[in-house]
């Protein structure tokens, strides 16, 4: 593993309060996938929190430091130290940490699909933080703590009004009436970079109203992010481990969206259907 100075000050506000942001970027031989989207989200997140992100020139130098092969570049940006209690320092002196983590894809999930479960935890609505990838991820940690069964790949998260939002570490989409839909993330959730790219290219439509029934009644569904690619959903359990009414096919609509996503990430296409 290659990393920046691993020393973190005990006074760093990222450690003390989760006052910061992070990005996880897929690299192949030093070439970053969806790099513009990652840099833009980091900049937008820093602006939302009220401090400066590193310059684009500084960020652009990071992928080239990676060892050969497939890696994930994790960038952690904090406000730095200072201030009294929760009161942030003015001006802030942000710190940026980075590391390269070897990446091994899971092609069996691309081909065979995954089983997911519904989480008991409900995401709180906070529009000020919605969309950005901030360091306060305790909701996701508690949701992922709900199961230990390795046959369940992910957990589906709803908000406090039982509207679909995302999975614990991935975005969600379902196919219905000839279109792919993904929940709006105006009140909570992380706006993934792959999600943004697929929306901008016309492959996903945003659903402002997304009750659980829209997923359960859909023809096919999937989870995706900018590192793992796209995993079709084939089965879903409720929070008690019982099967839900939904039945999802890995059909051509799934494979088509998967090809679009994997082209953006450089993952190999999945040719088989089931």
DSSP per residue, 62-86 = SGGGSPSSEEEEEEEEE--S-SBTT
Q: Which helix (H) or strand (E) holds 206?
A: strand 205-207
Instruction: Quote the DSSP letter at residue 88.
Output: P
d(CA 95, CA 22): 12
d(CA 188, CA 158): 10
d(CA 242, CA 38): 37
Q: Which residues contact 103 (CB under 8 A, 6 or more apart)?
A: 26, 27, 70, 71, 72, 227
Joined tokens for residue 66: 């990676």
Taking only the tens of pLDDT, the chain with its 274 residues reads 566 877 889 999 999 999 999 999 999 999 999 999 999 999 999 999 999 999 999 999 999 999 999 999 999 999 999 999 999 999 999 999 999 999 999 999 999 999 999 999 999 999 999 999 999 999 999 999 999 999 999 999 999 999 999 999 999 999 999 999 999 999 999 999 999 999 999 999 999 999 999 999 999 999 999 999 999 999 999 999 898 888 899 999 999 999 999 999 999 988 765 4
d(CA 222, CA 15): 33
Distance of alpha carbon 118 from its chain centroid, rounded?
A: 17
- What's the CA dihedral at 19, 225, 212, 44 to 10 degrees? 40
**91: preceding bond cis by omega (within 30 degrees):** yes
């Amino acid at each position: 593993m290659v990393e920046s100075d691993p020393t973190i000050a005990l006074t760093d506000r990222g450690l003390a309060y989760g006052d910061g942001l992070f990005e996880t970027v897929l690299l192949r031989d030093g070439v970053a996938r969806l790099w513009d989207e990652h840099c833009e989200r980091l900049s937008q997140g820093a602006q939302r929190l009220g401090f400066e992100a590193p310059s684009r020139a500084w960020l652009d130098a990071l992928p080239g430091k990676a060892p050969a092969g497939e890696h994930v570049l994790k960038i952690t940006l904090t406000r730095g130290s200072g201030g009294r209690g929760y009161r942030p320092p003015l001006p802030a002196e942000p710190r940026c940490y980075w590391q390269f983590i070897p990446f091994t894809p899971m092609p069996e999930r691309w081909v065979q699909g995954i089983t997911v479960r519904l989480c008991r935890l409900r995401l709180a609505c906070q529009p000020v933080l919605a969309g950005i990838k901030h360091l306060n991820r305790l909701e996701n940690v508690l949701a992922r703590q709900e199961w230990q069964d390795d046959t369940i790949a992910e957990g589906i998260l709803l908000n406090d009004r039982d509207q679909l939002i995302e999975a614990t570490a991935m975005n969600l989409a379902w196919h219905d009436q000839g279109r792919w839909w993904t929940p709006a993330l105006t009140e909570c959730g992380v706006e993934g970079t792959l999600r943004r790219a697929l929306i901008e290219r016309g492959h996903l439509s945003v659903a402002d109203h997304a009750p659980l029934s829209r997923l359960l009644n859909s023809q096919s569904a999937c989870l995706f992010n900018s590192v793992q690619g796209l995993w079709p959903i084939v089965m879903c359990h409720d929070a008690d481990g019982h099967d839900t009414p939904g039945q999802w096919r890995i059909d051509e609509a799934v494979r088509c969206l998967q090809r679009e996503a994997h082209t953006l990430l450089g993952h190999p296409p999945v040719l088989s259907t089931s």
